[in-house]
Amino acid sequence: MLLSLRAATVRFGGRAVLDAVDLDVAEHEIVCVLGPSGSGKSTLLRAVAGLQPLDSGRILLGGHDQAGVPAHRRGVGLMFQDHQLFPQRDVGGNVAFGLRMHGASRTSQAERVRELLDLVGLPGAAGRAVAALSGGEQQRVALARALAPSPRLLMLDEPLGQLDRSLRERLVVELREVFGRLGTTVLAVTHDQGEAFALADRVVVMRDGRIAQSGTPLEVWQWPADAFVARFLGFENVVEATVGDGVAVTPWGKVPVADGAPRGTRTLLVRPAGVRLVPVGEGMRCTVVARTFRGTHVAVRLQPEDAPRLEAACALRSAPEVGDEVGVEFDEAEIAVLG
């Protein structure tokens, strides 16, 4: 394992911001920590970087305990949320900074700067002032700067947080491609699930300083570990249910579940695609209270007569209007019984 956290704990005034976190990152792996703000993601990165001392637990890099190793000797890279480019240096000066700190010669510095600026798609920008860069360009310079000293582990704090959507979607693909080409080991944190799923080999969901779930993007998306993860991923149809044989009793009535599902009182997730709209009179009677255009589909919010609201995904053409009365049936394939 390149990076191992063992019961890593950080407290801010009694409150555990990192609460006995265990985490492993293998070489060449891209791990994305996903969580709402305040869940301890950034503290995790700062602890690994050596900017935040642990209150207890251990951090190992390449098998070596990092206790007492200062930030500048850990050989890890960190790309800050708001880049933190050095305002008094030009682009080249920023990218070359880490190389200079490691005593690289001038010629090799210049060569590496050119190489990296080409890599991040800013060829010939070495002489530009950082203040004159757009957000996306700053992002690329920050990435080039973090990559320049070839860190054994590259950490990204909300790498694409402040960029507009199209740029973000393009950059996330570029980033994954670059990391794949260079074989970089990456530990990124973000609150944006789209970003995490697009970038990561493995997603780690954090909540209140603890790890709530860890798995491939597909695993996490399909089988959220608990109600918190499901809701954080944007699912709204999450309820307590009593699961029996092939059927679960929910506030929305009886709902079909897979035969092998664990029984008893469980958390049930109904994905929006599993809520099928049928003519009034069939299934559960609901009123449409909101509809949101999502590009590929329309998200419809439904109010049953005597139960929590439901979200459904409808095809563009067949989506009902606000105020319409519809019937609702459930699709077993889109229903998951969580832990």
Partner 1 sequence: MAVPVAFFAVFFAYPVTAIVARGLKTDGTWQLGRIGDVLAQPDVRQVLWFTTWQALVSTALTLLIALPGAYVLARFDFPGKQVLRAVVTVPFVLPTVVVGTAFMALVGRGGLLDELWGLRLDTTVWAILLAHVFFNYAVVVRTVGGLWAQLDPRQEEAARMLGASRFAAWRRVTLPALAPALAAAALMVFLFTFTSFGVVQILGGPTFSTLEVEIYRQTSEIFDLSTAAVLTMIQFAAVSSILALHAWTVRRRETALRLVDAAVTARRPRGAGQWALLGGVVATVAVLLLLPLGVLVQRSFGAGGLGYYRTLTRDDGGVFLAAPIEAVGNSLQYALAATVIAVVIGGLASVALTRRDAGRLVRGFDALLMLPLGVSAVTVGFGFLIALDEPPLDLRASWILVPLAQALVGVPFVVRTMLPVLRAVDVRLREAAAVLGASPWRAWREVDLPMVRRALLIAAGFAFAVSLGEFGATVFIARPENPTLPVAVARLLGRPGDLNYGQAMALSTILMIVCAVALLVLERLRTDRTGEF
| Residues making contact with partner 1 (CB under 8 A) | 46, 49-51, 70-78, 80, 84, 86-89, 97-98, 101-102, 131, 145-146, 149
Smallest separation, CB 49 to partner 1 (Å) = 5
Q: How far is the CB of 193 from partner 1 (least distance, A)?
A: 26
Nearer Cβ to partner 1, position 46 or 112? 46
Q: Shortest gap between Cβ of 102 and partner 1 (angstroms)?
A: 5
- Sheet holding 253-256: strands in order across? 253-256, 247-250, 238-243, 264-270, 335-338
Helices 106-119 and 135-147, axial angle in degrees (round to 10): 130
Smallest distance from partner 1 to CB 71, Å: 4
Instruction: Give the number of other Cβ atoms within 10 Å of residue 282's Cβ.
Output: 13
Beta carbon of residue 159, minimum distance to partner 1 (angstroms, whole number): 14
Nearer to partner 1, 147 or 230 (CB): 147
Nearer to partner 1, 35 or 98 (CB): 98
d(CA 44, CA 189): 9
Edge-to-edge strand list for the sheet holding 76-79: 76-79, 153-157, 186-190, 30-34, 202-207, 210-215
| Paired tokens of 322 | 């606000």
Tell me if residue 221 falls in helix, strand or coil.
helix
Nearer to partner 1, 87 or 279 (CB): 87
Q: Give whichever of 33 and 314 is closer to partner 1, judged by the CB atom.
A: 33
Q: How far is CA 121 from the centre of its chain?
A: 24
The neighbour count for residue 239, using CB atoms within 10 Å, is 18
Q: Which residues contact 132 (CB under 8 A, 6 or more apart)?
A: none
- Pick 77 or 224: Cβ nearer partner 1: 77
Are 276 and 330 within 8 A, CB to CB? yes
Q: Which is nearer to partner 1, 26 or 131 (CB)?
A: 131
- For residue 100, the minimal CB distance to partner 1 (Å) is 8
For residue 315, the 8-state DSSP code is: -
- Looking at the Cβ atoms of 73 and 317, the one nearer to partner 1 is 73
Of 155 and 312, CB closest to partner 1: 155
Whether the Cβ atoms of residue 287 and residue 303 lie closer than 8 Å to each other = yes
Q: Which residues contact 252 (CB under 8 A, 6 or more apart)?
A: 239, 270, 284, 304, 307, 308, 310, 328, 330
Other Cβ atoms within 10 Å of 250 Cβ, number: 21
Main-chain dihedrals φ then ψ at residue 156, nearest 5 degrees: -125, 125
Residue type, 139: Q
Write down the least CB distance from residue 155 to partner 1, Å. Answer: 8
The rounded distance, in Å, linking the Cα atoms of 325 and 84 is 53
**How far apart are CB 125 and partner 1 at their closest, in Å?**
18
Minimum separation from the CB atom of position 152 to partner 1 (A): 12
